[in-house]
Amino acid sequence: MRKDRTFAQMREITFEINVNLHAEGSCLVKFGNTQVLCTASIDEKTPPWLKNSNKGWVTAEYGMLPRSTNTRIDREAARGKQSGRTQEIQRLIGRSLRSITNLYNLGERQIKIDCDVLQADGGTRTAAISGGFVALYLAVEKLRSSYNIDKPIIKEFIGAISAGIINNQPNLDLNYEEDSIAQVDANFVICESGKISEIQVTGEEYFFSDDQFNQIFSLAKDAISKIINKQKEVLGHS
């Protein structure tokens, strides 16, 4: 049983914008004790395979600082390769943010989203998506202003949250301790319209029912609506 919040409550979530002097868009996002620095950088070149396509691209990179966790982890650059987990998470972030971007209106340029975990306590990928969107939005607005682009590039807002089942009880926004003992672990990426970008759900040596899934799905939808409201508030978007 949680001591500091109910099973249906998120941790405190905040977005702090323009925290990086150099990036076209930046955001420090906090989901409780999880903190992720997200930056968006505009590159006037697309990947080679998109050349002359009149289409842009949004991609993401993800990494964890050595002391973002309870014990120090080596930098992946020092090991010479990224882990499978890192590759999976950054592909998820990229897919999620491309889903709400009009790549043709973006033009033949690329926006790179870098998500660096400063402190990890569960939900780093969902925090990275939610904060990465804020950084992307800021970069796109700067781009539209600089080039007088009238066409919309961002199609709609998007957010993400984790949920799970612990001791047969649905729980929203799992911290690390909760995630490590969850019978079911899920991540939801949902747009403002209610359309689903992605759902990842796994039973950890446990089967779950339709009713149990619907319970955590309902919690996630309500939470993401609140996350999007926080994004809009910090971005001054009515």
CATH code matching the domain that covers 13-235, chosen among 3.30.70.270, 3.50.50.60, 3.40.190.10, 3.30.230.70: 3.30.230.70
Q: From CA 237, how far away is CA 132, in angstroms rounded?
A: 17
Residues 50-55, mean pLDDT to the nearest whole number: 93
Q: Is the pLDDT of residue 238 over 80?
A: no
pLDDT over 70 percentage in the chain: 99
Can you give the residue ranges of every domain in the chain? 13-235
The reported pLDDT for the residue numbered 36 is 98
- Virtual CA dihedral for 144, 114, 30, 130, nearest 10 degrees? 50
The reported pLDDT for the residue numbered 231 is 98
The reported pLDDT for the residue numbered 204 is 81
Residues 85-111, mean pLDDT to the nearest whole number: 97
Residues 226-233, mean pLDDT to the nearest whole number: 98
Q: What are the two backbone dihedrals, phi and then psi, of residue 155, each rounded to the nearest 5 degrees?
A: -80, -40
Across the chain, mean pLDDT equals 96
Q: Is the pLDDT of residue 19 over 80?
A: yes
Whether residue 58 contacts residue 94, with contact meaning beta carbons closer than 8 Å, is answered with yes
- Convert the pLDDT of each residue in 125-168 to its tens digit: 999 999 999 999 999 999 999 999 999 999 999 999 999 999 99
Q: From CA 82, how far away is CA 40, in angstroms rounded?
A: 21
What pTM was computed for the model? 0.97
- Convert the pLDDT of each residue in 168-209 to its tens digit: 999 999 999 999 999 999 999 999 999 999 999 999 888 999
74 SS3 class:
coil
pLDDT over 90 percentage in the chain: 94
The reported pLDDT for the residue numbered 1 is 63
